[in-house]
Chains A and B, each alone.
Chain A
Amino acid sequence: MFNLFKYASPASFYPLAGRLAMGFGIASVILLVIGLYMSFFVAPTDYKQGEGYRIMFIHVPAAWMSMLIYVVMACWAAAGMIWHTRLSSMMASSLAPTGAMFTFIALWTGALWGKPMWGAWWVWDARLTSELILLFLYVGFMALESAIDDPRRAARASGLLALVGVINVPIIYYSVQWWNTLHQGSSIKVVDGGVETSMSEIMVWTLLVMTFACWFYTIAVALTRVRSIILERESGASWVKALLQERKS
């Protein structure tokens, strides 16, 4: 029977993470090239916003990733606290920087899209404000984790912050329906199994390609970062010594 817990041990997870990171890294580069080509040369000009809407092809994936990564990070943090598996907490801390980056990109590209369309870089709108809070949560998670020396206590404290902050993600997602926001409502709705959207078919496909590119990018970067975290924490372990001797010879 495939024993999943075998990969809970850093020693056996380390080589697997390396192979996965390589695979997802290559896949993300390919998808990014295809997605960028589609964003500029395949997707049609928007009847209302002209070319400006093309910012959507990075703004929306970045925003989706900022929310998805936070939820995944909180799940890993919870797993680490419940089963005391150190590797789970390491996964949470390896995701935080990439999540923070995508949150900043979502805010940045949103501002650059808002200026020509709304006439303002920033408004204290429910969607924008809750996304800004998400950025603070990411930074808070990273700061709290690095402020505490003992990895176990650091994982517990930052894990708690991550779990408390999870409530912010549905607030972001539904903010456009709960409050009267300047930010537009969701244009892609999953309705009884099908995807209903007001966008043209090709725009949705371009968006999906870019989203998967960002998703695979995140997996590749986070897995590479977690390998470094594993080596830093397990530097005294014998398997690390064996690994390094093997690399040297």
Chain B
Amino acid sequence: MSEWLAMGGHGLYIWGSYAVTALFMIVEVILVVRRRRSLMQRLGRMIRMKDSEVSG
């Protein structure tokens, strides 16, 4: 396993490339999903406020 990880001496460069790529792609997905979730909550609250003003 460790011999495979060494990647013929290029391990640092290969895993450095793949790790950063994975990190950026995963973080981007998290940011997009979080943006969507917080937006849905904010809009939901706005509408509930408007409903209560109308009926209140």
A residues with a Cβ closer than 8 A to B are 45, 50-52, 54-55, 58-59, 62, 97-98, 101, 104-105, 108-109, 112-113, 115-116, 217, 221, 224-225, 227-228, 231-232, 235, 240-241, 244-245, 247-248
Contacts and interface: CB of A to CB of B under 8 A. Distances in A.
A112 B25 CA distance: 18
Interface string B16-55: 1110110011001100110110011001101100000000
A84 B16 CA distance: 44
Contacts of A55: 13-14, 17-18
Contacts of A104: 24
B8 interface: yes
A220 B54 CA distance: 38
Main secondary structure of the interface of A (DSSP, over half): helix
B17 A244 contact: no
Contacts of B21: 58, 62, 105, 108-109
B35 A228 contact: yes
B43 A240 contact: yes
B29 A248 contact: no
28 contacts: A45-B8, A50-B8, A50-B9, A50-B10, A51-B7, A51-B8, A52-B7, A52-B13, A58-B21, A97-B28, A101-B24, A101-B28, A105-B21, A112-B13, A112-B16, A112-B17, A217-B25, A221-B28, A224-B32, A227-B36, A228-B32, A232-B39, A235-B43, A241-B47, A244-B47, A245-B47, A247-B40, A248-B44
Interface size class of B (residues with CB under 8 A): 20 to 34
B25 to A, nearest CB: 7
A41 to B, nearest CB: 10
A51 B7 CA distance: 6
Nearest to B50: A241
Contact of A225 (B20, B35, B43, B46): B35
A228 B8 contact: no
Contacts of A98: 28
Contacts of A58: 17-18, 21
